[in-house]
Structure 1
Amino acid sequence: MSASFGQTSLVLLTALLFSVTAFVSGYVDPTVPLLLFGLPAGLIALLICLRYPDHTLLLLVALIPLDFFAQLPNAGPTLSLFKLLFPIVATAYVIQLASGKLTLLPLSTEEKFLALFVVFAIIMVPFSVNVLGSLGTIRRLVSVALLYFFITRYAELWPRFKLRLELAVILPSVLSVILGLFGSSTGSNMFSSFTDDSLTRITGATTQSPNDYALILFLPAFLSAARVIQPSQPLVRLFWLACTAILLGGIVMTFSRSAFLALAVGMAAPVLLLWRHITPFHVIGLVASLVFLPFVLPAEYVERLASLGNLFGDGQRATELSLLRRANYIDVGMRIFEKYPLLGSGPGTFAWLHAKPEFQSLPFLYGVERMPHNLYLQVLTENGLVGTVLFLTALAMILAKCARPVLRPAPLVEVAFYAAVLAALISTLAMGLFVHVLLNKSFWLVLAFARISARDYRSPETG
């Protein structure tokens, strides 16, 4: 009897045993069968996840833009499919390491700095100004860091995993945007509690804010655009072109000014690096797009973009609430940094200190906890100079390694994937100026793709 046949038999016999038990117990207590009926399915799912952890990991990635469907009924935010499946992936990885099916790959230099940053944050928890708040933050930080670790390791060990990972990023994101557009077409967002009196901002099939949702779409949009460039059948390229248009449209329909600026920066950088591939046709297309873009964008979106001029305005124009809040975050952050410059106030403590009169200059915000809406301000205040140096060093090294393949003299089809990842990375880092993305799964997913692209690239000098 083969091992696979034995495993299959065990699964089927166990499922049959629970089903018979459920049927018999129904004569004793009618409420029992429904509960026990779910046990066989749950057990089978558990065994499948343990047997195929790479597929389970792809499912977790696919659920990032579809996190509304990862929520469990009546469980609230305390339990979701992410939290149920992630320990299974971790357990399966450890089992495969112990059995010799996987090898523990060494950390790269930038990964060592990221690991040191996470370890430093863990060490600082007992010295935090709010230990309980820091514990929750550390749990999430370790989770997203492990997500990065598992993705990069499976991608390096199994070459086919990279292709599946790309599809798991692009296709669910397209579905998420489509669902979000249908949901928002009714004038309300069926997936999220976010509301806006003046416009309906889509967040796809997620429970996240529009800014966070736009961040999710950066990577799939650029990856999809890279697939358009690849040589393939016309219908296939048309499909990826449609996916790219849907994803970019989803970013637009979030009505996020921050996302617009970050996307512009992310698109500009690879174009400048790929100047040798720029033709007059590309220039004409770019100019035409810039000319006609204001006419196809929603009027509300153009008005929101025009409000960016308030940053440099005076009088009443400069009093827009969102801009005042961001200025206040910086003020609070500088006060925190002055008191805790070297080691920081502790992970996840910015919002708690934001409510304290000692750090808050606006009396009407006393007792109001808010996050800084800035990745770098969050790291600086909560992790101090030590944590900031570790974090920024890792990001700088990742960015440099990610740009290296794009700079080489090669056909556009060969560097398209690398350029897409670089554009997503730059857009994400630029978005960090406006959103606290440290604990976002999408942020660490982009870092994972940057690591994969750097690993995948082999320079002519090294072979």
Structure 2
Amino acid sequence: MSVITPNSPSQRWLTPIIIFMAVAAAAALGWAVISIASPTIITVVVVGLVLAVLTVVRAEFGLALLVLINYTRVSDTLIKYQGFPSVAKPLVALLVVTVLIHWLLYKEPPRGWDKPLILIGFYTLVSYASLLFASDQATASTAFSDLLDDVIIAMLIVLLMQRFQSIRVVVWSLLVSGTFIAAISVYQYITGQFTNAFGGFGQAAIMNIVGESNDYRIQGTFGSPNSYAQVLVVLVPLAFDRLLNERRLLARFAAGFALVTVVLTIIFTFSRSGFLALAVVAFLTLLHYRPKLETLLIGLALAAALVLFMPAQYSERLSTLTSFLPGSTSSAQSEVSFRGRINEYAVGFLMFADYPFLGVGLKNYPANYLEYSPRVGIDPRREQRAPHSLYIEVAAEQGILGVLAFALILIAVFRGTARAARQFGEMGLRRVQSMTSALSIGMIGYLTASFFVHGSYPRPFWLLVGILLSVANVAAQEYRIFHSQQTGRAPFDLSISIAQTYEQE
């Protein structure tokens, strides 16, 4: 969506809309001053009204806010720790209104939303059908309601990301949101302020490290070190890409700062799944970008410096990963967490075997765990457990239809982004092509960690799905225009010209 300008075809609507919003803002501000005693809340109201006006005038601004607020659970954290009302829900409503304003009044209908709607809609329908077999209907219904919120946000991203410029906006929004909480985590770990939650943005808890040893693990805003590391891994290739390809020195410095803080935070989570995902992402990033020798040497020196910040027990915890290697003298079953994971995976397969078509119901794996666990007999703990794998979770709770719907989304994501990267390259948009590849590698990192992390916090996943489907959609739509221009069948397109100018600077 473009910026509303005085030359817009429906310019006559602009003045009445702004006047109406100004009057509404003044009325709301007056009510806040009279009715609310808290200066903090009044400040939030004022800032919210300003952001609302900016969002309607420039939809990409609202898109950036949507990513910032939801990728790192800012809204949920403010609700839980500060007692704020939901920030995300009013923003979603405002963005829906913004889409309608641009669509109906400014004749800018969103393009290419039908295929993502079919893919996401199919998965949603399968999830709803799985409720038929749920033994814990209350949990299943709540989970489905949360899923609806997530897929609505994913589709909203598809509706908002319509031009080249929005891709860079989203990439930097992801980096800013992740760097914000990662910087807090790094400061928290270095200073040892683990009991200070930093307003909910710096959660930490004493958890098992290795064997009988326990220590603090960083959790950020997620309350889970593994989920936190999983979300941050996505940002590593994005930061590396911006470090290499941004034009301005300040932007490159910001990207470098993001890269360092994110990698350190992943280490401070002590997450083995996060480490494996980081290793995969690092390998794919180096393979794709093939940095110059001097850049590689600087990177190695930086990595060596980061080792100085590595916790004493980190390497010891990672060494337990060798328990699964052939010929290992240690037994995987001697490690408590490994033994539990094996039991949980086996239970998931048993659930899938008993309910192959639609599973045991959305988020009903824990409710059925104690019934199946004795049949496996590896883990003696008599307590509800999670599946600790997104793929086993989908199979156990939504059956073969859920697996199929999930696989179709991932196939569309990676086929679409691969095609998009090729199309951006043909249009001469190398920087946009590079960002597309970085997003794909980030998603691979997220899915790698998903082998060992279930969907406790699924919203980042759906945000990424919406973003990657949008990137493919933008490339397809703009390539069609570009190709028509090349053959003289379409008029000059300003968006493509702006993007090409950015490439040449």
TM-score (norm 1): 0.82
- Kindly indicate whether residue 145 of structure 2 is the aligned counterpart of residue 139 of structure 1: yes
C-alpha separation in 1, matches of 2:90 and 2:249: 41
Q: Which amino acid aligns with 2:360?
A: S
Task: Select the residue among 52, 74, 78 that pairs with 1:49.
Answer: 52
Task: Select the residue among 408, 414, 417 that pairs with 2:435.
Answer: 417
CA 1:406–1:297 in structure 2 vs 1: closer, same or farther (change >3 Å)? farther
Whether contact under 8 Å (1:15, 1:40) holds in the other structure is: no
Aligned to 2:122: 116
Aligned to 2:179: 174
C-alpha separation in 2, matches of 1:336 and 1:376: 13
- Kindly indicate whether residue 361 of structure 2 is the aligned counterpart of residue 355 of structure 1: no
Whether contact under 8 Å (2:394, 2:402) holds in the other structure is: yes
C-alpha displacement at 1:247, in angstroms? 1.6
CA 1:6–1:230 in structure 2 vs 1: closer, same or farther (change >3 Å)? same
C-alpha displacement at 1:256, in angstroms? 1.0
CA 1:132–1:88 in structure 2 vs 1: closer, same or farther (change >3 Å)? farther
**CA-to-partner distance for each residue in 1:333-379, whole Å, 9 max, x for gaps?**
1111111012212211111111325775448444x222211111011
**CA-to-partner distance for each residue in 1:367-403, whole Å, 9 max, x for gaps?**
x222211111011111111221121122123123323
CA 1:77–1:168 in structure 2 vs 1: closer, same or farther (change >3 Å)? same
Whether contact under 8 Å (2:186, 2:264) holds in the other structure is: no
C-alpha displacement at 1:237, in angstroms? 2.4
C-alpha displacement at 1:323, in angstroms? 0.5
CA 1:272–1:207 in structure 2 vs 1: closer, same or farther (change >3 Å)? closer
CA 1:13–1:135 in structure 2 vs 1: closer, same or farther (change >3 Å)? closer
C-alpha separation in 2, matches of 1:207 and 1:439: 8
C-alpha displacement at 1:103, in angstroms? 1.9
Equivalent pairs counted in the alignment come to 447
- Kindly indicate whether residue 391 of structure 2 is the aligned counterpart of residue 376 of structure 1: yes
Task: Select the residue among 239, 244, 247 that pairs with 1:229.
Answer: 244
**CA-to-partner distance for each residue in 1:68-102, whole Å, 9 max, x for gaps?**
66434678999643345434444554565565655
* Percent identity for Structure 1 against Structure 2: 19
C-alpha separation in 2, matches of 1:82 and 1:403: 31
Task: Select the residue among 227, 232, 235 that pairs with 1:217.
Answer: 232
Q: Which amino acid aligns with 1:161?
A: S
CA 1:382–1:48 in structure 2 vs 1: closer, same or farther (change >3 Å)? same
Aligned to 1:441: 459
- Kindly indicate whether residue 26 of structure 2 is the aligned counterpart of residue 12 of structure 1: yes
C-alpha separation in 2, matches of 1:13 and 1:394: 45
- Kindly indicate whether residue 341 of structure 2 is the aligned counterpart of residue 330 of structure 1: no
- Kindly indicate whether residue 283 of structure 2 is the aligned counterpart of residue 268 of structure 1: yes
Whether contact under 8 Å (2:341, 2:388) holds in the other structure is: yes
- Kindly indicate whether residue 203 of structure 2 is the aligned counterpart of residue 192 of structure 1: yes
C-alpha separation in 1, matches of 2:51 and 2:429: 42
Task: Select the residue among 264, 267, 271 that pairs with 1:256.
Answer: 271
Whether contact under 8 Å (1:267, 1:423) holds in the other structure is: no
Q: Which amino acid aligns with 1:253?
A: F
CA 1:403–1:179 in structure 2 vs 1: closer, same or farther (change >3 Å)? same
C-alpha separation in 2, matches of 1:381 and 1:305: 29
C-alpha separation in 1, matches of 2:469 and 2:396: 27
Does the residue aligned with 2:194 lie in a helix, a strand or coil? coil
Task: Select the residue among 325, 339, 346 that pairs with 2:361.
Answer: 346
Whether contact under 8 Å (1:152, 1:448) holds in the other structure is: yes
C-alpha separation in 2, matches of 1:182 and 1:287: 23
Q: Which amino acid aligns with 1:162?
A: I
Q: Which amino acid aligns with 1:306?
A: S
C-alpha displacement at 1:260, in angstroms? 1.1
C-alpha separation in 1, matches of 2:141 and 2:49: 28
C-alpha displacement at 1:321, in angstroms? 1.0
C-alpha displacement at 1:139, in angstroms? 1.1
C-alpha displacement at 1:263, in angstroms? 1.8
TM-score (norm 2): 0.76
Q: Mapping of 1:34-73 within 5 angstroms?
A: 34=37, 42=45, 45=48, 49=52, 52=55, 54=59, 55-64=61-70, 66-67=72-73, 70-72=76-78
Q: Mapping of 1:147-166 within 5 angstroms?
A: 147-156=153-162, 159-166=164-171
C-alpha separation in 1, matches of 2:151 and 2:365: 21
RMSD, matched Cα: 3.8
Q: Which amino acid aligns with 2:172?
A: L
CA 1:79–1:12 in structure 2 vs 1: closer, same or farther (change >3 Å)? closer
Aligned to 1:240: 255
Residue range with higher mean Cα deviation, 10-19 or 422-431: 10-19
C-alpha separation in 1, matches of 2:123 and 2:374: 25
Whether contact under 8 Å (1:335, 1:359) holds in the other structure is: no
Residue range with higher mean Cα deviation, 123-132 or 310-319: 310-319
C-alpha displacement at 1:304, in angstroms? 1.3
CA 1:51–1:125 in structure 2 vs 1: closer, same or farther (change >3 Å)? farther
Q: Which amino acid aligns with 2:312?
A: A
C-alpha separation in 2, matches of 1:238 and 1:441: 29
CA 1:193–1:241 in structure 2 vs 1: closer, same or farther (change >3 Å)? closer
CA 1:161–1:422 in structure 2 vs 1: closer, same or farther (change >3 Å)? closer
Whether contact under 8 Å (2:205, 2:216) holds in the other structure is: no
Q: Which amino acid aligns with 1:441?
A: R
Gaps of 5+ in 1: 23-32
C-alpha separation in 2, matches of 1:11 and 1:290: 50
- Kindly indicate whether residue 316 of structure 2 is the aligned counterpart of residue 303 of structure 1: yes
C-alpha displacement at 1:114, in angstroms? 3.0
Does the residue aligned with 2:215 lie in a helix, a strand or coil? coil
Aligned to 1:26: none
Whether contact under 8 Å (2:440, 2:468) holds in the other structure is: yes
CA 1:167–1:287 in structure 2 vs 1: closer, same or farther (change >3 Å)? closer
Does the residue aligned with 1:338 lie in a helix, a strand or coil? helix
Whether contact under 8 Å (2:416, 2:472) holds in the other structure is: yes
Aligned to 1:203: 219
C-alpha displacement at 1:34, in angstroms? 3.1
Does the residue aligned with 1:196 lie in a helix, a strand or coil? strand
Q: Which amino acid aligns with 1:310?
A: S
